[in-house]
Structure 1
Amino acid sequence: MQNDANVVPLNKAAPGQSPTSTAGRLPAALVTVRDKVVLQLRQAMQALFDNADDTLFEMADRATTNTEQSAFFEAMRDLRLKRKGIERGFLHKLVENFANLNQYEIGKAPQLDAVSFDNLSLVQNDELEESVAVDAMVNKVLSRDGVALAHLTTRLNTLVSRKVEDKTNPMGPRPLCEAFLEACRGLGVEIKVKLIILKLFEKYVLSEADQLYAEANHSLVAHGVLPELKSAPLRRSPQQQQRTAQSRSASEYVAEGAALADGGDYVDVEQQEAFGTLQALLAQARGSLAPRRAMPADAMPISSGDLMRLLSHLQSHLPVQSIEEVDVRQQLDHLLTRVSSKSGRSRVVGQVDEDVINLVSMLFEFILDDRSLPDSLKALIGRMQIPMLKVAVLDKTFFSRGSHPARRLLNEIASAALGWAEQTDLQRDSLYQKIEQVVMRLLNDFVDDPAIFAELLEDFTSFSGDERRRSELLEQRTRDAEEGRARAEMARQEVEHVLNQRLFGRTLPEVVVRLLQEAWSKVLLLTCLKHGIESEQWQSALATMDDLIWSVEPHEDPESRMRLLEMVPQLLKSLRDGLASAAFDPFSTGEFFSRLESLHVQAFQRFKQVEEAQVAEPAALLDDGIPLLDEEVEAVPAGPAMVAVVEEIVLVAPGETRAPEPEELLAEDDESLRKVDELRVGSWVEIQEDEEHKLRCKLAAVIKPSGRYIFVNRTGMKVLEKTRMGLAVEFRRNAVRLLDDALLFDRALESVIGNLRRLKNA
Structure 2
Amino acid sequence: MPPRAVSPRHAVLEEAIGAALQQVGTGFAAFRTQLAARLTESSQPPADSRDRLRAASLLHERHEALLPRVTDALGRALREELAQLAPEPRVAGQPLALVPYDEMDQRVARAAIARPFDAAHADALATLNAGLAHLFERQSLRVNPFRPEVFIAALHEAWTAFDGEEGSAAAMLALVQAGCFHDLAAVYAAVNGVLERHGLLPGPLRRPLAQQPVRQQGHDARREALLASRLHAFFGQSGVAGDRATADTTAAGEAGTLAPRLLRWLASLPDAVGANAIALSSLKRDAPRGMLSRADEGTIDLLGAVFDTVSADEAISSESRELLQLLQLPLLKAALADKQFFFHAGHPARKLLELLSRMGWERTLAGTGRRDDRQFQAMRRSVDVAAREDDAASAAFAQAVRELEAALKEEEADAAAVLAVPVAAALKQEKTATARRAARDAVALRVGTGEVVAVVEAFLENRWTDVLTVAYSIDDDKPGAVRHATQAMDDLLWSVRPKLDADERRQLIARLPGLLATLNRWLDVVKWHDADRLRFFAELADCHASIVRAPLDMTAERRIELSMQAATLAAERRLARAADARSAESAESAQSAQSAQSAAAPALAPEEELAGLARGTWFEFAEDGGARRVKLAWISPLRSLYIFSNGAREEAFSLPAQALAQRLHAGTATVLQAEGVVARALARALAVNDPAAELDSAAA
What TM-score results when the alignment is normalised by the length of structure 2? 0.40
What TM-score results when the alignment is normalised by the length of structure 1? 0.37
Q: Tell which structure's C-alpha radius of gyration is larger.
A: 1
